[in-house]
């Protein structure tokens, strides 16, 4: 049943895609209102810890803080690693999503995305963090389901659909049908592992140490699942030379970056092939027609769709807005009574 219009306007309910790298918040009647890094800067003075910055401001501090300040990412591999810091981060994002109002007319109902392979302990940590941050009720939704809803796949129908959601910490692969996951698997490979692979490759080949922020910039500019067929784009990067100990500038090519990402891409392709091999014949037949849909930040990796299509022989489509469709799908599940059955009560 739909809420009366005057109650809908007063509603503070929201969906949160609590990601390892970024947190995306979707608010009723406003759409995506927040998309910020999942980073918290903690300052310790005389043994007392306090939050100095959250989100974008905190990310700018990573690798550049004095001894008294520590930039923390409270989520690892899609689940909470530091519940106290995660709670502070969620509370900050809830307040910011509502325009900085710390006292809302009522405590909001919140749906939070969780990895399909997360344990009951990990899910309880997410529920507790969201509840302590100010939620009146916490719903959970598995990320592949939220991604599929956000991408517009027919998850309510007796039709097979396949989603590959590549986040910062994990890649979720699922075959969905009739409000449920017919098969799901996840690998702890995502944007973080790609950054790590680039850091290691630059260190081995150029004897240069670079930070996470530089590796991410290289990935976004030159990251590719397959080497270029023509002239390879290049990028100038700076770091500290391992032998000399001095700052140095080098130029790297897209060929080097594609080679460094080979193992990560191979693991993602392996997870997709495993899902296809374990799918029911009738669902597999539907996927031949509909293809594979990619979501998440990793879906933006150049030529990943080509590599996946070549490995499976199936059409591969990147969702229209891969970075936000998980949050949008989670919100639709909360908002639309037809999708309520996919929510997990917290």
Query: Binding site: residue ranges?
Result: 168-170, 216-219, 297-300
Instruction: Label residue 75 exposed, middle or buried (CB < 10 Å: 0-12, 13-18, 19+).
Output: buried
Q: Which residues contact 205 (CB under 8 A, 6 or more apart)?
A: 256
Task: Please state the residue numbers annotated as binding site for ATP.
Answer: 168-170, 216-219, 297-300
Per the rule left: phi > 0, alpha: psi between -120 and 50, beta: everything else, 236 is beta
Q: What is the DSSP letter of 302?
A: B
Q: Give the CA count within 13 Å in the CB-facing half-sphere of 178.
A: 3
What are the two backbone dihedrals, phi and then psi, of residue 302, each rounded to the nearest 5 degrees? -60, 135
DSSP β-bridge partners for residue 211: none
- Residue-by-residue DSSP string for 177-228: ETTEEEEEEEES-SHHHHHHHHHHHHHHHH-EE--HHHHHHHHHHH-BSS--
**Structure tokens belonging to residue 287:** 């996927």
DSSP β-bridge partners for residue 248: 239
- The CA distances from residue 103 to 66, 99, 134, in Å, are 33, 11, 10
Angle at 117 between CA 107 and CA 146, to 5 degrees: 50
Distance CA 248, CA 240 (A): 6
Please report which residue ranges of the chain form alpha helices under DSSP H: 5-10, 56-59, 83-97, 120-132, 143-150, 191-206, 212-222, 254-260, 262-277, 281-290, 304-312, 325-335
**Length of the chain measured in residues:** 346
Q: Which residues contact 51 (CB under 8 A, 6 or more apart)?
A: 40, 41, 42, 43, 88, 92
């Amino acid at each position: 049943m739909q809420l009366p219009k005057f109650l809908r306007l007063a509603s503070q309910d929201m969906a949160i895609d609590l990601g390892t790298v970024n947190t995306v918040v979707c608010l009723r009647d406003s759409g995506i209102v927040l998309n910020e890094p999942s980073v918290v800067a903690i300052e310790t003075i005389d043994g007392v810890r306090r939050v100095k910055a959250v989100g974008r401001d905190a990310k700018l501090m990573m690798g550049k803080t004095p001894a008294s300040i520590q930039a923390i990412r409270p989520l690892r591999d899609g689940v909470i690693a530091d519940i106290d810091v995660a709670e502070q981060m969620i509370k900050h994002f809830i307040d910011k999503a509502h325009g900085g109002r710390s006292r809302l007319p009522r405590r909001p109902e919140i749906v939070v995305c969780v990895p399909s392979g997360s344990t009951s302990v990990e899910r309880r940590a997410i529920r507790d963090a969201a509840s302590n941050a100010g939620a009146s009720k916490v719903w959970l939704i598995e990320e592949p389901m939220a991604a599929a809803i956000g991408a517009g796949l027919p998850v309510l129908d007796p039709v097979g659909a396949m989603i590959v959601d590549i986040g910062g910490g994990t890649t979720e692969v699922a075959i969905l049908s009739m409000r449920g996951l017919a098969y799901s698997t996840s690998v702890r490979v995502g944007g973080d592992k790609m950054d790590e692979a680039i850091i290691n490759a630059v260190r081995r080949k150029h004897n240069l140490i670079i930070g996470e922020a530089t590796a991410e910039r290289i990935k976004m500019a030159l990251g590719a699942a397959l080497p270029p067929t023509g002239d390879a784009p290049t990028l100038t990067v700076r770091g500290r030379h391992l032998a000399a100990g001095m700052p140095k500038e080098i130029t790297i090519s897209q060929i080097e970056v594609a080679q460094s990402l080979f193992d990560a891409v191979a693991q993602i392709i392996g997870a997709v092939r495993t899902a296809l091999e374990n799918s029911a014949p009738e669902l597999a037949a539907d996927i031949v027609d509909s293809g594979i849909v990619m979501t998440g930040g990793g879906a933006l990796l150049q030529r990943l769709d080509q590599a996946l299509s070549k490995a499976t022989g199936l059409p591969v489509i990147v969702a229209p807005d891969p970075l936000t469709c998980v949050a949008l799908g989670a919100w639709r599940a909360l908002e639309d009574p037809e999708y309520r059955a996919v929510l997990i009560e917290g």
